[in-house]
Amino acid sequence: MTNSSDRASDKEKALTVVVIGASGDLARKKIFPALFSLYSQDLLPAKTNFVGFSRSDLSPEEFREKLREHLACRYLPRELCGEKMGSFLSLCHYVPGQYDSADAFLDLYQAMRGIEDEDQANRIFYMAIPPSLFLDVSRALGASGLVSCGDHLQAWSRAVIEKPFGHDRASSDELVAQMAQIFTESETYRIDHYLGKEVIQNLIVLRFANQIFEPLWNRSYIESVWISFDEDFGAEGRGGYFDRYGIVRDVMQNHLTQILALVAMERPRRLDAIEILNEKVKVLRAVAPLKMEDFVLGQYVGSDRGGVRRPGYLDEESVPSDSTTPTYAATVIRVDNDRWRGVPFIVTAGKALERRATEIRVLFRRSEENLFKIDGETPPPNELVIRVQPDEAIYFRTINKVPGLRMRLAECDLNLRYAQAFSGPVPEAYESLILDVIRGDKSLFIRKDELETAWDIFTPALHEAARGARKPEPYEYGSEGPEGALELIRKFRSV
Ligand code: BG6
Three-state secondary structure of 433-464: HHHHHHHCCCCCCCCHHHHHHHHHHHHHHHHH
Task: Please state, for a pLDDT cut of 90, what percent of the chain lies above it.
Answer: 84
Q: What is the atom index within ligand 1 of the atom nearest the CA of 241? A: 6
- The finding on whether 250 has its CB within 6 A of some atom of ligand 1 is yes
Same domain, 146 and 280: no
pLDDT reading at 7 higher than 80: no
353 CA distance to ligand 1 middle (Å): 14
Closest ligand 1 atom, CA of 242?
Answer: 8
Which of 105-119, 148-162, 443-457 tops mean pLDDT? 443-457
* Cβ of 383 less than 6 Å from ligand 1: no
Nearest atom, ligand 1, residue 235 CA: 8
pLDDT on residue 5: 42
Inside any domain, residue 370: yes
**What pLDDT does residue 6 have?**
46
Q: List Cβ neighbours of 437 (8 Å cut-off, separation of 6 or more).
A: 124, 158, 160, 189
* Chain segment 294-334, per-residue pLDDT in tens: 999 999 999 999 899 999 999 999 999 999 999 999 999 99
The ligand 1 atom nearest the CA atom of 197? 14
Return the ligand 1 atom nearest residue 238 CA.
Answer: 8
User: Does 149 share its domain with 276?
Assistant: no
For every residue of 329-388, DSSP letters joined together read: EEEEEEB-STTTTT-EEEEEEESSBS--EEEEEEEEPPPTT-S--BTTBPPPPPEEEEEE
Question: pLDDT tens, 228-242?
Answer: 999 999 999 899 999
Fill in the amino acid letter for 10: D
Q: What is the dihedral of CA 352, 354, 357, 360, to 10 degrees?
A: -100
How close is the Cα of 331 to the center of ligand 1, in Å? 19
Does 167 map to a domain?
no
323 Cα–ligand 1 center, Å: 21
Q: Which atom of ligand 1 is nearest to the CA of 247?
A: 8
Q: Number of helices (H) and strands (E) in the chain: give both, helices first.
A: 16, 15
**For the whole model, what pTM was predicted?**
0.94
Give the residue-averaged pLDDT of 386-406: 95
Q: What is the pLDDT, as a whole number, of residue 389?
A: 94
Average pLDDT, the chain: 93
Active site residue 255: yes
Tell whether the model's pLDDT for residue 419 goes beyond 80: yes
Local confidence band at 373 (pLDDT 50, 70, 90 cut-offs): confident
The residue among 162, 144, 194 whose CA lies nearest residue 349 is 194
Percentage of the chain surpassing pLDDT 70? Answer: 96
Pocket mutation for ligand 1, best pick of 248, 253, 255, 356 (most atoms within 8 Å of C-beta): 255
pLDDT digits (tens, 9 = 90+) for 338-359: 999 999 999 999 999 999 999 9
What's the pLDDT at 237?
86
Q: How confident is the model at residue 4 (pLDDT cuts 50, 70, 90)?
A: very low
Distance of CA 412 from the midpoint of ligand 1 (Å): 31
- Coil vs helix vs strand at 414: strand
Evaluate whether residue 177 is within a structural domain: no
The Cα–Cα gap between 383 and 221 comes to 11
Distance 247 CA to ligand 1 centre (A): 10
Contact call for residues 5 and 440 (beta carbons, < 8 A): yes
Residues 145 and 215 in one domain: no
b/e per residue 290-326 (b: at least 16 CB within 10 A) = bebeebbbbbbbbbeeeeeebbbbbebeebeeebbbb
Do 211 and 323 lie in one domain? The reply is yes
Q: Among 25, 200, 250, which residue has the most ligand 1 atoms within 8 Å of its CB, making it the best to mutate?
A: 250
Q: Are 187 and 159 in contact (CB under 8 A)?
A: yes
Alpha carbon distance 67, 26 (integer Å): 11
Same domain for 157 and 264, yes or no, is no
Q: Is 350 domain-assigned? A: yes
426-433 average pLDDT score: 95
Instruction: Name the pLDDT band for 207 (thresholds 50, 70, 90).
Output: very high
The angle that helices 60-68 and 78-90 make with each other, rounded to 10 degrees, is: 150
The catalytic position among 93, 167, 193, 255 is 255
Q: How confident is the model at residue 368 (pLDDT cuts 50, 70, 90)?
A: confident
Write out the residue range of the structural domain in which residue 307 sits: 195-492
Are residues 23 and 81 part of one domain? yes
Asked if residue 316 has its Cβ within 6 Å of ligand 1, the reply is: no
CATH assignment at residue 200 = 3.30.360.10
Residues 113 and 223 in one domain: no
Predicted local confidence at residue 424, as pLDDT: 85
Q: Does residue 173 belong to any structural domain of this protein?
A: no
Contact 88, 36 (CB under 8 A): yes
Mutation to probe ligand 1, out of 251, 300, 351 (largest number of atoms < 8 A from CB): 251
Least confident of 5-9, 113-117, 124-128, 408-412: 5-9
| Model confidence pLDDT, tens digit, residues 260-298 | 999 999 999 999 999 999 999 999 999 999 999 999 999
**Overall average pLDDT of the 3-12 stretch:** 55
Determine the pLDDT at residue 78.
Answer: 87
Model confidence at 15: pLDDT above 60: yes
In a domain, 381, yes or no: yes
Instruction: Identify the domain boundary among 137, 162, 187.
Output: 162
φ and ψ of 33, to 5 deg: -60, -35
- The answer, yes or no, to whether any atom of ligand 1 lies below 6 A from the CB of 392, is no
**Residue with CA nearest ligand 1 atom 13:** 194
pLDDT of residue 493: 83
Number of domains composing the chain: 2
Same domain? For 239 and 154 the reply is no
Tell whether 168 is covered by a domain. Answer: no
Pocket test for ligand 1, best of 26, 231, 258, 360 (most atoms within 8 A of CB): 231
pLDDT of 165 > 90? The answer is yes
CATH number of the CATH domain containing 92: 3.40.50.720
**What residues contact residue 367 under an 8 Å CB cut-off, 6+ apart?**
378
233 and 126, same structural domain?
Answer: no
What confidence score (pLDDT) does residue 150 get? 52
- Centroid of ligand 1 to alpha carbon of 252 (angstroms): 11
The arithmetic mean of pLDDT across residues 178-195, rounded, is 95
Which of 120, 146, 162 corresponds to the end of one domain? Answer: 162
Q: Is residue 199 located within the same domain as residue 343?
A: yes
Q: Is residue 176 part of a domain?
A: no
Same domain (yes/no): 139, 212: no
Closest protein CA for atom 2 of ligand 1? 250
Render pLDDT for 83-125 as a digit per residue (tens, 0 to 9): 999 999 999 999 999 998 999 999 999 999 899 876 679 999 9
User: What is the whole-number distance in angstroms between the Cα of residue 241 and the centre of ligand 1?
Assistant: 12
Q: Rounded to the nearest whole angstrom, what is the distance from the C-alpha of residue 2 to the centroid of ligand 1?
A: 25
Where is the domain boundary, 115, 145, 162? 162
243 and 372 part of one domain: yes
